[in-house]
Structure 1
């Protein structure tokens, strides 16, 4: 299992961060360059990852103000789970950690590690911008 993760601190309460992340329509604002053909609803998103694949994702599990798990709605080229973990701090700031866990064979690891790492870094950085 390959793990890609990034954590940021956001100057918003956990409820605001959670509400933003539980609407997949908002995730378009979090995507890096190279993501095309975006389509979404409240619970699903589909898009092309440049030179890798087309993904259709859906929200699988939500724990209010704590976490959101997202899984593929169609069989992807590799098994994966995306998870946002939200932790409220005492001073109305929130830690948000985004993790992608992916089952990658050696060839896929070589091809996909860079883009997946870029994806987690971009999504957390763009979350800070979107909620500023």
Structure 2
């Protein structure tokens, strides 16, 4: 299992961040430019990565003001889980975004960089989106 993680602090209450992340409709704002054809409902999302891979995601667990767990569904190229962990810290919130992927050695060499960039991009975008509200 390969793990890619990004940690940030956002100067917002944990409840604001949880409410945003709990709805997949908001996650489109966090995606990098190579994500195309984003479509979402409250609990599911689908998209293409630069016309190469089609992915479907589903929120598998919502733990109020603590975290959101997401899994790739419908035959992803490799098993992957995404987890948002929220921790209140006074008036701010510590946010940890983790991508766990089951990768063989060849896949790990090919996708480790892009998956770490994705983790960093989504966490940074979350901070940017919520700080402008």
TM-score by length of 1: 0.95
Task: Note if contact 1:7-1:124 (Cα within 8 Å) is conserved in structure 2.
Answer: yes
Secondary structure, counterpart of 1:131 in structure 2? helix
Aligned to 1:130: 129
1:51–1:116 CA distance, 2 compared to 1 (3 A):
farther
Aligned to 1:26: 26
- Gapped runs of 5+ residues in structure 1? none
Q: Are residues 1:84 and 2:62 paired?
A: no
Task: Note if contact 1:23-1:43 (Cα within 8 Å) is conserved in structure 2.
Answer: yes
Q: Are residues 1:121 and 2:110 paired?
A: no
Task: Note if contact 1:10-1:95 (Cα within 8 Å) is conserved in structure 2.
Answer: yes
- Match runs of 1:33-44 below 5 Å: 33-44=33-44
TM-score by length of 2: 0.94
Deviation per CA, 1:7-62: give whole Å up to 9, x if none: 10001000000000001011011011211111111111111123752110010011
How many residues in Structure 1 have an aligned counterpart in Structure 2?
131
- Gapped runs of 5+ residues in structure 2? none
Aligned to 2:73: 73
Aligned to 2:99: 100
**Runs of at least 4 residues off by over 6 Å:** none
Counterpart CA distance in 2 for 1:88 and 1:75 is 35
